[in-house]
Structure 1
């Protein structure tokens, strides 16, 4: 049974989408964060048995109201992003597999890319959907591979390249890249037809 995890933050002003907030203000950025989470949760739940891994620890109720009814909820463990991803994959593989972990910065991510990542695991150990900024939007694994997430520089142009360098003998598949939305100018890249919650927020004040 394939399983899916969504790494997410409670959409609080000043906590989520802080780089967007630098241009749009904390309240407006939080509106986008809420919509990104809701659209991403729909994508995740359509792929398989899905769990939202949320932060901070007291943010469960804020996240739960944005999830499809069948989606489960678990707090993220403490530590850097790599430690949190290792723990999330461990929780997912305890329930099934293969497993895919995605974030909420690409609410219009094409389902075809996510399906390609899963399909690639028939002949590869891991599959990534690269992001144009040097990171990645999602990663799928046949089995736990903690080395992919250890000693990695996160949230920078070298994130994916460092991850691939850490892959050792793992067989890696890369899909076509997609965008993630971090800065205000990135909003122009959104395919709003594929992200209905985000489309409604964008229509409010642009």
Structure 2
């Protein structure tokens, strides 16, 4: 499980960094000083920051609030969405640059894989049914109540269940086969 987690984190960081859209920060819990995070800092020249205490909502709110102290907008992403790529991140940035106050990358399971914002709204993070299929619906209702203008990207899937993991394994296997085929074709040239 640890090897999978590390692989997903590294892939997510690499995609965010290579997209070259903005500075990338890695918000971790609990140990900012863990050797793995130090390795990522060195490999990708990124800043590692502690998520702090509290439930997922409080930690996300803190990260967003602090990021917005240094930038006109910020985007929060998790490391469990294998299809999120640079184009997806670029689309989120474009929505915010075009004047949207928020952008959401919905998850197929009713949550979200990305939240971008120009301002931090506490209501989006408190008393949420985190980990349930109701998160996205609650977020939309709260955005409406706040009078926020937001955009939504295409829905992606994230890895929360054993079924999601099997889906990822099948996708990863297909990608590995494609990579091997391309390498074999290159070797024949």
**TM-score bracket, shorter-length normalisation:** 0.7 to 0.9
Residues in 1 aligned to 2:50 and 2:35: alpha-carbon distance in whole angstroms: 11
Partners of 2:99 and 2:160 in 1: CA distance: 33
Counterpart of 1:163 in structure 2 is 139
Normalised by the length of structure 2, the TM-score is 0.80
| Residue number in structure 2 paired with 1:65 | 39
The structure in which a higher percent of residues are helix is: 2
Distance 1:43 1:189 in 2: 20
Greater relative CO, 1 or 2 (CA 8 Å, sep 6+)? 1
Which consecutive unaligned segments of at least 5 residues does structure 2 have? 180-189
Correspondence 1:185 to 2:150: no
Hey, what does 1:11 align to over in structure 2? none
- Asked if 1:33 is matched to 2:9, the reply is no
* 1:23-69 deviation digits (Å, cap 9, x = unpaired): xxxxxx22111100000111222331011110113663332323543
Query: Residue 148 of structure 2 aligns to a residue in which SS?
Result: coil
Shift of 1:188: 4.2
Distance 1:44 1:180 in 2: 17
Q: Please say which structure displays the higher CA radius of gyration.
A: 2
How many angstroms apart in 2 are the aligned matches of 1:192 and 1:123? 36
C-alpha contact 1:148 1:164 (8 A) present in aligned 2:
no
SS of equivalent residue, structure 1 residue 192:
helix
Is 2:116 the counterpart of 1:148?
Answer: no
Secondary structure at the counterpart of residue 44 of structure 1? helix
Contact 2:16 2:86 (C-alpha < 8 Å) held by counterparts: no
Contact 1:137 1:180 in 2 (8 A): yes
Question: What's the CA shift for 1:91?
Answer: 1.6
Tell me the C-alpha RMSD between the 2 structures.
Answer: 2.3
Matched, 1:128 2:101: no
